[in-house]
Amino acid sequence: MSTETVTIASLGAEGDGIAHTASGTVYVPFALPGEVAAIARVRNHGTIMSLSVASPDRREPPCRHFGPDAEGGACGGCSLQHYADAPYRAFKRALVADALKAKGLDTEVGALIPARPGERRRTVFTLRRTEKDMLLGFNQAGSHHIIAIAECPIAAPGIVARLADIRAIAASLATGPDPFRVTVLETSTGLDLGFEGIRKAGDRERRAMTQTVLKLRGIARVSLDGEILIEPVKPLIDFGGIPVVPPPAGFTQATRPAEDAMAELVLGHLSKAKKVADLFAGAGTFALRLARRTRVHAVEGDGKALAALDHAARNTQGLKPVTVEKRDLFRRPLMTSELKAYDGLVFDPPRAGAEAQVKELVRSGISRVAAVSCNPLTLARDLKLLTDGGYRINSVTPIDQFLWSTHVETVALLSK
C-alpha cells in the first residue's frame, strides 16, 4: 500500500472517482470530479484519507451507513449519496447517452425521470445469525461483510419500520451462522418475505416462524426458496388497477413511480396497436395494462410469474383477450413468421438484453416497438440492431428507479 495525492478527473460507470496517474488509472470510491484527495493506494484502488479540495457538488449523505466514515463500515447499497441532485441526475442520463454514442447512435436522450427517497418497495437484505443477534443489512461493497442497518432512506417507510419484525422472523428460521437473503416486497396487503439460502430449516424452525408471524400484524406471506410457509393473506400488487399475486421472491419493478412512468410511455406508444406481443412479460407489468385496450400475447420464461399474470387476467373483468406462453426467449426467440401476427411489441429483458430476439424482430413488419432495459450497454446494442434493420428511434427516456446507485432504467420507443 502506498499513499499519494490525486485529482479526480471524472466518475466511472460504477460511481467511483477516476484519477489518472503516471502509474495508471486509480478508482477512488466516494470521490467526485474536481476533487484533490490524499489516498491510500493498493494497485488501482484508492481509499480517501483526506480532501484538500472538495467539489462544490459534494453534499452531506442523508444516511449514517453511507461513506468511508460510516460507523462499522460503509453499506454497499448506495454509491452516490454524496452527490448533489443536479449533477447526479446528469451523470445518470449520461450513462445512457454515452452507451448510445458508443454504438454510433446519434439520438437525443430525454431528461431523467427522478427517483425520490422512500419509494423502494422491493429490497433484498442479507442476514446472518451471530452469538448475540441477527444481523440484517447490506454487504459492504466488494466483500461479504454485512453492514447492519438501522435505517435505509431509499426503502419504503413501511419496510424500514418493520426491520425488527423481519429480524425476528429470520431468527426463528435460521439454523446456523451462514448468511442468507430475504427479498422484502411491500404489497397492499402487507409485507411479502421471500427467504433464500437457509440450510436445513426443519419442522421446529417452521413452527417457531409460524408462531412469530401470527403474533405480528402486516405480514402477508413468508416463503423459503420459493415454498410458501405461511400466508395469512394474499400479497397483492397493483398493475394499473389490476391486482396481481406475485410469486414468492419474484421479480417486480423496484418502485411504483418508476413502473408507472415506464408503463405510461409504453402504453402511449402502443395505444393504436390491435394486437401486442409482450416479451419477457414477467407477472404482467405491461401486459395487463395493455389488455385494457388491445389483445396481448405475453411470453415469459419464468413459469410462476407467467401463472400470476394468467390468473390476474382470467380474474379481471373488462380486459381484452390475454394469451400466455412459457418460453425461453434467449434460446428460442419468437421467429419472424410468428411476429407477423402483431402490430405492436414491448420487450423488457434481463440485463443481458434481447439480442437473439431483436435479430428476429428486425425482419418482422411490426410497426411500433417499445424497448425497456435496465442496462444501457445491452440496450444500445439492441437499438443499433433495430435501427440498422429499418427502425427509427422516436424517443429515449432514462428513469431513475435505483436511487443513488449507478443503475438506470430506460424506455426507448421506435417505429418502423
374 assigned to active site: yes
Report d(CA 267, CA 263) in Å as an integer: 6
- Of 63, 75, 78, 374, which one is the catalytic site residue? 374
**Do 15 and 32 form a contact (C-beta atoms < 8 A)?**
no
Q: Is 280 annotated as a binding residue?
A: yes
Q: Which three cell numbers stand for residue 372?
A: 425497456
Extract the annotated binding site: 253, 280, 300, 348
| Enzyme catalytic residues | 374
Extract the annotated binding site for S-adenosyl-L-methionine: 253, 280, 300, 348
